[in-house]
Every structure is written in C-alpha cells, then in structure tokens.
Structure 1
Amino acid sequence: MKTDFNLDEERKKALNEIEKNEKKLKYGIAGIALYEGIFLLLFIILADWSDRLHQLLFISAMLVYGTLGFGIVALGMFVKINIGRVLKAIETVAFSELND
C-alpha cells in the first residue's frame, strides 16, 4: 500500500508533540503540587492540635489526598501502557510497509 506522506516524518512529528505536551504536564503538576503543599504546610502550622476537630480534618484531608494520589498514579500507568501499544502499532505499520 503506497501513501502520499513520509511515515517516518509523521512519526517524528507525533513523538515531538507528545514530548512537548509531556513537559507541559510535568510543569503543571509541579505547580499544582507546590500550591497544595503551601496550603498543607499552612494547615499544619495553624492547626490547634489539641482540638480533636482539627485532628479529624487533617486525617480526612490525608485520606482524600492519598486516594487521589493513588488514582492519578494508576491513571498514569494506564496511559503509559496504552501509549506503548500505539507506538508498537505504528512500528508494525512501518515495518509492514518496508516489507511490501
């Protein structure tokens, strides 16, 4: 099957775009983590630890953050696996075109 475009060039463009978006994502996550970390530190400093309500709020917040953190890690692993599958499919198409 002949195509009008260079598959290697399109693959390079796609991989470069993925790399740019990955860098943006990492900077965004770092910024959000810094923002959340500042407020967590303020909560730890300003909380009255003798008050049971403040202790309960802290424990609840840590449970929510833990659940969200594990969910984000699982989602990241899922996306990474699927990106690997897509790249493998692209390689298979390129290899089959070389053999035709």
Structure 2
Amino acid sequence: CDTPFFPDTLLHRLFQALSTRDAEIVFPVSGGHSHQAFLLCRTHLKDSLKKYLDSGQHQVLGWVQSHRHVAVSFPDGDDFFNVNTPEELARAEAHHAEMSR
C-alpha cells in the first residue's frame, strides 16, 4: 500500500538494466528521488548484505553505494507515489479513479 502505482514495467526494466549494464545493483529513479526499496541485485551480494545488516546498518542506500550500481530512470513522477497521510490517500484514490476510467 505504500507505493500502489509502481509501473507494470518495473521488473522488466530493472532486470534488463542488470543484465546489460556493468552493475551489481539496479534501482529506479523517478521525480528526482531514488527508490532503493525496489532494487534488484546479484545473488553473490547476499553475504555482503548480511554483513552490512549484522553491523547494525539499515540504510539501504549506504549498502547500495558500496557496490557497482545503476539508477534506471522512470520519467513519471507519480510512479512511486507514497501513501502515508490521509491527504495522500485522497490523492491516491483520485488517481486510481482516473486510471479506472
């Protein structure tokens, strides 16, 4: 529910970037913000991630920046719209109604 309108092409585009770019991690960027919660990474990084988390670190961006990473642009700023307040919920409901027409 936090990001209800992420694009249908998200997985395909991230996988394509991971497959074709010199990167270990790829994540979307939209509206001037990066969205590491939607990242894809190479499986060989699992030990690195475990070590990072075990050290008490929890900021995804810090771990991402310690590896070769690529940001994939998604031009529609509403693709990763967050719903965290009643006002944002109203905006999301209006956006959903518009999409359903």
Instruction: State the TM bucket, normalised to the shorter chain.
Output: under 0.3
Richer in strand (by share)? 2
Q: Which has the higher contact order (CA 8 A, sep 6+)?
A: 1
TM-score (norm 1): 0.26
TM-score normalised per structure 2: 0.26
